[in-house]
Structure 1
């Protein structure tokens, strides 16, 4: 057998490695869209920037606040956030309120993230706008209760609606939604006419992306990891991941048919790298979906976060703050 020159072998190995790394990044992106992003690093054995900063542990002996509590004062002397436990449809949800004036700014986290995602952004927004800032933990995350059955954007929107109503925030709200929270925002905006004065979608899931072809690709890529999770010891985190994956196809085929209400202006901040940095085909589909969403109605603006990954709030927080400030100034 003729031996390949060392240089050729080296180049072949590098090409194979590059292909593997790109495919791995694509699989992580697909997994993050089907499942909360918190599991991506653990499943693929990487120290991803998308991994959660803080893990919550709960158990039978873990105390749950019955009334508002006060968090530690941020370093920049922004008002402290207090926790409020609010009940909707038999389960409790943790909301966190940083005092300020109207209009209220509500931050909704990406898949698998709880209110900790905004720990650095909240004081910046509070200082920049003086507005009341509200964050929360969706069902099954953080200090909020689990809910049996598949994850559903409509149910999540109902939870957000109940929380804001209980807090007395029922009009002139500026909502900012990252990634999976785009689905919650869409259902919330449709079910609560007159509540939102503006929306900032940050590399968020929009209906145009979830075609039958794309849904099939996402489900096929993530099914082996879902099955592996089901064989692991049952934990709150695992149960939430499995619930998010259940009924994914029908849920997102239905979401694909939903439209954003034309009376709510939107700024869409798209990452340059997209969640699919390792797959040019899927990255282009993500960009096309964002452009189609913006073109589908009045009062919509598309901005690209140059050089940013899907984690725009961490990569370019000032851009997010500036666009929320603009929305508050224009609509507040």
Structure 2
């Protein structure tokens, strides 16, 4: 595995924003990663403190007119969860870095109609209607936020998790710590552990150093803060992520785009595809699906394919 991912490469200049690309797609498509407190990471089983719910709302990040906004508190962070009613098991949609729940606005009503399932979307910390919290991005803290929200909403087992891009990291930690909470998953051009060899991490960081330095010179925008937050924890977080495994008890469909986040770098795009293929072969119950002709934003470019794969997983695991 490592021989494939660490093979000798030329030293071409990579496309800009690859620090975000490997977690969130291009800057224009997906933006940065959500900042969360550096020292507030907790185990994914952390208990929620309190929650409130409201009637249907016209929140800017709301993905569906039929959804209800629930503001849930986890370790001082107020997080926005949007629930479209239906039967259990719930289908949970998690967008890539820099994106809030509105990313799924076109898919949610179609998915609800096709499956009759409860559909849950949410805004990670710093995005949409959720609180912005300073500090390096922490994937375990993000996983704790998602688990707390689901449990507060009554989802304690058998959820079908749909995770795009950077959300693949959240899904991997959440599912590894709580395999009974997730009955199956669809990982949509997701950030996967196999991609993050030391050489690839170093390559991505070096390619993005000028832009990170520029963001630090003027950190006043949310996009700059998100880029800085991602950069501050990027190396140790992804070194650790490279060692994480998906539990064999949870089936997963691995969708990979044809163009990947590295459309301008064929070599790195192939490494991304190789990582998806290796992940799919690494355990039982894993299926690899290629979204032909799609950019990294498969839910936008190939929504029917994403809908079909979610329906299959929900029908099997329901």
Cα distance, 1:242 vs. partner?
A: 1.3
The residue that corresponds to 2:15 in the other structure is 27
Q: RCO higher in 1 or 2 (8 Å CA, sep ≥ 6)?
A: 2
Measured after TM superposition, the shift of residue 31 of structure 1 is 3.6
Distance 1:295 1:34 in 2: 21
290, 299, 307: which one pairs with 2:276?
A: 290
Task: Provide the rounded CA distance (Å) in 2 between the counterparts of 1:208 and 1:71.
Answer: 40
Preserved CA contact (<8 Å) 1:202 1:269: yes
In structure 2, the partner of 1:246 is: 232
- Return the match for 1:205 from 188, 191, 211: 191
CA distance in 1, matches of 2:107, 2:280: 25
CA distance in 2, matches of 1:198, 1:154: 20
Aligned to 2:153: 167
User: How many angstroms apart in 1 are the aligned matches of 2:135 and 2:57?
Assistant: 32
CA contact (8 A) 1:33 1:111 kept: no
Structure 1 pair 304–245 and aligned structure 2 pair: CA distance change class (3 A): same
5+ residue gaps, structure 1, are: 1-22, 42-49, 53-64, 73-77
Equivalents in 2 of 1:303, 1:34: separation in Å?
A: 19
Compute the TM-score of the two structures, normalised by the length of structure 2.
0.84
Residue of structure 1 in register with 2:288 after alignment = 302
1:97 pairs with 2:91: no
Q: CA deviation at 1:231?
A: 1.4
Tell me: CA distance 1:148–1:29, structure 2 relative to 1, closer, same or farther (3 Å).
closer
Report the secondary structure of 2:93's partner residue.
Answer: strand
Tell whether the 8 Å contact from 1:36 to 1:244 is kept in structure 2 after alignment.
Answer: no
What CA distance in whole angstroms lies between the structure 1 residues aligned with 2:273 and 2:152? 37
Residue among 218, 229, 250 paired with 1:232: 218
Q: Which structure has the bigger radius of gyration?
A: 1
What whole-Å deviation, never above 9, does each CA across 1:19-75 have from its counterpart, x for those lacking one? xxxx88x4246143367557x23xxxxxxxx167xxxxxxxxxxxx96414146xxx
In terms of fraction of residues, the more helix-rich structure is: 1
Q: Aligned residue for 1:132?
A: 118
- For 2:263 and 2:116, locate their aligned partners in 1 and report how far apart those are by CA, in whole Å: 36
Residue 150 of structure 1 and its aligned partner are, at CA, apart by 1.1
CA distance in 2, matches of 1:188, 1:216: 26
Note if 1:195 corresponds to 2:181: yes
Q: How many equivalent residue pairs? A: 284
What is the deviation of 1:149?
2.0
CA contact (8 A) 1:146 1:240 kept: no
Partner of 1:60: none
Question: How does the TM-score come out when normalised to structure 1?
Answer: 0.81
- The separation in 2 between residues aligned to 1:161 and 1:286, in whole angstroms, is 28
